[in-house]
Amino acid sequence: MVGALLAGLLLCPHVGADDGDVIKDDRQALAEANAAGISSKILAAKEQLSDDLARQTDQRRAQEDQKIKEAQGITIPLASDGQGHLLADVIINNRVHASLIVDTGSPVVMLTPAFIQKLDLDLSRSNMGYVEVLNGKYKAAEVSLDSVSLGGAKARDVSATVMLEDNKVIKDGLLGLSFLSQFHFTLDQEGQKLILRKSS
């Protein structure tokens, strides 16, 4: 019996300080199988421990890769509208695509009346006022968007303004700071790209 127990201790892989509960349970099961000296149970316990260690390694590697990606940031290519503005392909409320002008001078996301019809938003209870944009002053309403997504970056409950009058320069709207300020962002005008890094 002492010999079997000693063999079990030698065969059981070293217990790591950062092992999760599943791995600790696997190691315990292997130690008990070794102590019992039943080869079939020892083999099964070893296979289970090996599988769970591999799964744990994959999970940790994925977490590290995610941290590296967040540190490097998400690079979003932008398109020129031919008038000196850069356009981003944005998804609003998880379903509607919008081509928004990236405007770091706009305090909020701003949408045109033509585009807002696609979202089916009720503006009857919205606060009304006026906004000044690229080419004038317009009557507008305040709204809150469930989500705004851009190139894998996503923000929820984003404040926005809806212009209630048509604007010939702006097609769908502006991507302003109510979205951008939720990230560390860099706008590369010459490279026509936007880099977003997750805020800590």
pLDDT at 65 over 80: no
Q: Are residues 101 and 155 in the same domain?
A: yes
CATH of the domain at 164: 2.40.70.10
**pLDDT above 60 (res 194):** yes
* Confidence check: pLDDT of 101 > 50: yes
117 and 186 in a common domain: yes
Based on the domain organization, do 187 and 175 belong to the same domain?
A: yes
Looking at residue 134, what is its pLDDT?
60
Q: Which amino acid is present at 71? A: A
Bigger pLDDT: 101 or 28?
101
Domain boundary at 35, 53, 72, which? 72
Is there a single domain that holds both residue 49 and residue 118? Answer: no
89 in Cβ contact with 99 (< 8 Å)? yes
CA-to-CA distance for 98 and 79, rounded, in angstroms?
13
Q: In total, how many domains does the chain have?
A: 2
Q: Are residues 137 and 189 in the same domain?
A: yes
pTM: 0.62
Same domain, 191 and 94: yes
**Average pLDDT in the 176-189 region?**
92
The percent of residues above 70 in pLDDT, for the chain, comes to 82
Three-class secondary structure of residue 98 per DSSP: strand
The verdict on 95 and 180 lying in the same domain is yes
Full DSSP string of 143-162: EEEEEEEETTEEEEEEEEEE
The answer to whether the CB of 176 falls within 8 A of the CB of 140 is no
147 compared with 65, residue with greater pLDDT: 147
Q: What is the pLDDT of residues 136-176, one digit of tens each?
A: 777 888 999 999 999 889 999 999 998 887 766 688 999 99
153 and 182 in a single domain? The answer is yes
Say whether both 68 and 104 belong to one domain: no
Helix, strand or coil, per DSSP, at residue 76: strand
| Chosen domain end from 49, 72, 95 | 72
Q: Which domain does 36 fall in, by range?
A: 2-72
pLDDT for residue 76: 92
Q: Mark whether 58 and 81 lie in a shared domain.
A: no
If one counts every other C-beta atom within 10 angstroms of the C-beta of residue 162, the result is 24
- Looking at the structure, tell me whether residues 79 and 52 fall in a common domain: no
**Is the domain of 105 the same as that of 41?**
no
Quote the pLDDT of residue 12. Answer: 43
Question: Residue 10 pLDDT > 70, yes or no?
Answer: no
CA distance linking residue 110 with residue 141, whole number of Å: 10
Radius of gyration of the chain (CA): 28
Question: CB-hemisphere CA count at 13 Å for 94?
Answer: 3
Q: Which has the closest alpha carbon to 26: 8, 50, 57, 2?
A: 50
- Longest Cα–Cα distance in the chain: 90
Q: What is the dihedral of CA 8, 12, 15, 20, to 10 degrees?
A: -110
pLDDT at 3 over 50: no
Structure confidence at residue 70 as a pLDDT band (50, 70, 90)? low
Please identify, among 72, 91, 126, the residue that sits at the C-terminal boundary of a domain: 72
The mean per-residue pLDDT over the stretch 59-87 comes to 78
> Rounded to an integer, what is the distance from CA 28 to the centroid of its chain?
38
Whether pLDDT at 61 is above 60: yes
For residue 200, is pLDDT > 80?
A: no
